[in-house]
Structure 1
Amino acid sequence: MTTLRVFAARPLVIAALHLPDFGRMRDKSMAWLEDYVATNAQVFAQAGVPYIKLQDQTREAGPMAASSLAITAALARFLRAEVPGIGLGIIVEAHDPVASLSIAHAAGADFVRLKVFVGAAMTAQGPRTGMGAQALAFRNALGRDDIAILADVHDRTAVPMSSETPEFAAEWAQKTGADGLILTGADWADSLARIRRARETGIKRPILLGGSVTTGNVGEALSAADGVIVSTALMRKDAAASDVLRWDLDLCRRFMDAARVTA
């Protein structure tokens, strides 16, 4: 049984805090970004969400640009200092496990999420191949086995380039060394079915459900999976793109209340 810190949370809820696309950002200063990160992280903390996943969304075909890495690392470190009581994870849009782990290492984050860990997938930025071996080698070189690796299995934002089933790909991810798996189907029923089949084939790693989780179904989600990742369901419905405050405290509180019933 794993002893990594992230898996000790009950209920294990990870809220994704999306950053702007730095490549398209023209009018946002570093001070604005810090205000944005701190304001929304405080919402999650006040609602009792145990983990935030700071999510870079800068579209990059190759490795993460140095400027994107620097901004994300600075914001992650800032978030850690401003909201020290909440756990932290990192995901970057670029297909770059070195960047993800470097940011996590610098910021003292608890985990990284890696989208194409095994196999190969066609994404909006082009084909990407499994980064598992590179991720494990670099984490070992950092001496940071305490940074958990959460690996997506057939993430629904990409199309697999080979014919293995999701449960077979989950076995690949487990054997390669992922600490936890993220399963997300085409719809709610498919997500639950993928989790069930993965368990039936002998997956022992913690499984998180990575999408379409709401206050109404989080109980069912946590009955099937070890944790959930949520974001859109908790956002302010009236928020403008320029608003600093994007997540709704009342929605977050109600979500956590529903999650605790199952836990």
Structure 2
Amino acid sequence: MTSLRLFSARPLVIAALHLPDFGRLRDKSMAWLEDYVVTNARVFAQAGIPYVKLQDQTREAGAMQPSSLAMTAALGRLLKAELPGLGLGIIVEAHDPVASLSIAHATGADFVRLKVFVGQAMTAQGLRSGMGAQAMAFRTALGRDDIAILADVHDRTAVPMSSETAEFAAEWAQKTGADGLILTGADWADSLARIRKAHETGIKRPILLGGSVTEGNVREALSICDGVVVSTALMRKDAAPTDILRWDVDRARRFMDAARAGA
């Protein structure tokens, strides 16, 4: 088990705070975005969730645009200033580990989540190849080995274009240098099966389950993996995409109660 601070949390729960697609914003100011981020991050902090993942969702085929990078970094910096005790992670929609790590470096984030870390996959934005080597080299150049890298393995939002099995890809990610792996199958049973298979094949890095986790199944998840990423299960049932407040503190508290029971 790595000594990075991220993995000392018990239970390790990461709540995903989704940002709007900056490329489609028309009537939302930066002040609105700041209120949105801080309001929802406070929900997670009040519920006792140790980490929040600020999730850029701006659809970009190539590198992250400078405007998107700047806005995400500014919002992440504000979140840390307002809630310094809340751990922070960064993920960007663009296939750009330099952008992710640069934002993490500027904001004081604890980790980045990188998809298509090894192998090759078709995504909604096109074909993407493994970014692992570039990510590891740039993190070293920054001198920021304290920023944990969480690597997705055959993420279910993409179609693998290379023929390796999920467990072989997990070995690739581990050897390339990922500090933790995120496994998410096509459904709940597939996710659990992938995690068990990864353990059986000798994966030593911490494994997180990346989707479909709820108050009702988080205990089962934490019985076989080291942490979970959650978002939809914590949302207000009547939340609209344009609402300032999208996540529910009571649902988040119940989730954390169940997670603590299963840790």
Name the TM-score class by shorter chain: over 0.9
> Deviation at 1:67?
0.2
Deviation digits for residues 115-149 of structure 1 (CA, Å, limit 9, x no counterpart): 11000000000000000000000000000000000
Distance of 1:126 and 1:96 partners within structure 2: 14
Which residue of structure 2 lines up, in the alignment, with residue 253 of structure 1?
253
> Deviation at 1:23?
0.2
Which residue of structure 2 lines up, in the alignment, with residue 65 of structure 1?
65
Which residue of structure 1 lines up, in the alignment, with residue 228 of structure 2?
228
Deviation digits for residues 209-262 of structure 1 (CA, Å, limit 9, x no counterpart): 000000000000000110000000110111122210000010000000000001
Matched, 1:92 2:92: yes
Task: Output the aligned Cα RMSD.
Answer: 0.5
Which residue of structure 1 lines up, in the alignment, with residue 22 of structure 2?
22
Deviation digits for residues 16-38 of structure 1 (CA, Å, limit 9, x no counterpart): 00000000011111100000000
Distance of 2:238 and 2:11 partners within structure 1: 28
> Deviation at 1:50?
0.2
Which residue of structure 2 lines up, in the alignment, with residue 240 of structure 1?
240
Matched, 1:49 2:63: no
Distance of 1:2 and 1:85 partners within structure 2: 21
Q: Number of residues paired by the alignment?
A: 263
Distance of 1:145 and 1:162 partners within structure 2: 29
Which residue of structure 2 lines up, in the alignment, with residue 153 of structure 1?
153
Normalising by structure 2, we get a TM-score of 0.99
Which residue of structure 2 lines up, in the alignment, with residue 3 of structure 1?
3
SS at match of 1:224: coil
Which residue of structure 2 lines up, in the alignment, with residue 77 of structure 1?
77
Distance of 1:111 and 1:43 partners within structure 2: 20
Deviation digits for residues 135-185 of structure 1 (CA, Å, limit 9, x no counterpart): 000000000000000000000000000111100000000000000000000
Distance of 2:141 and 2:241 partners within structure 1: 40
Distance of 1:257 and 1:12 partners within structure 2: 13
Deviation digits for residues 55-113 of structure 1 (CA, Å, limit 9, x no counterpart): 00000000000000000000000000011111000000000000000000000000000
- What are the ranges of 5 or more consecutive residues in structure 1 without an aligned counterpart? none
Distance of 2:214 and 2:241 partners within structure 1: 22
- What are the ranges of 5 or more consecutive residues in structure 2 without an aligned counterpart? none
SS at match of 2:223: helix
Distance of 1:113 and 1:106 partners within structure 2: 16
Equivalent AA in structure 2 for residue 200 of structure 1: E
Which residue of structure 2 lines up, in the alignment, with residue 262 of structure 1?
262
SS at match of 2:254: helix
Q: Which runs of 4+ in 1 moved over 3 A?
A: none
Distance of 1:129 and 1:87 partners within structure 2: 29
Equivalent AA in structure 1 for residue 224 of structure 2: A
Normalising by structure 1, we get a TM-score of 0.99
SS at match of 2:7: helix
Equivalent AA in structure 2 for residue 17 of structure 1: L
Equivalent AA in structure 2 for residue 109 of structure 1: A
Distance of 2:93 and 2:242 partners within structure 1: 21
Matched, 1:107 2:107: yes
Aligned-residue identity in percent: 85
Which residue of structure 2 lines up, in the alignment, with residue 135 of structure 1?
135
Distance of 2:214 and 2:239 partners within structure 1: 19
Distance of 1:151 and 1:25 partners within structure 2: 29
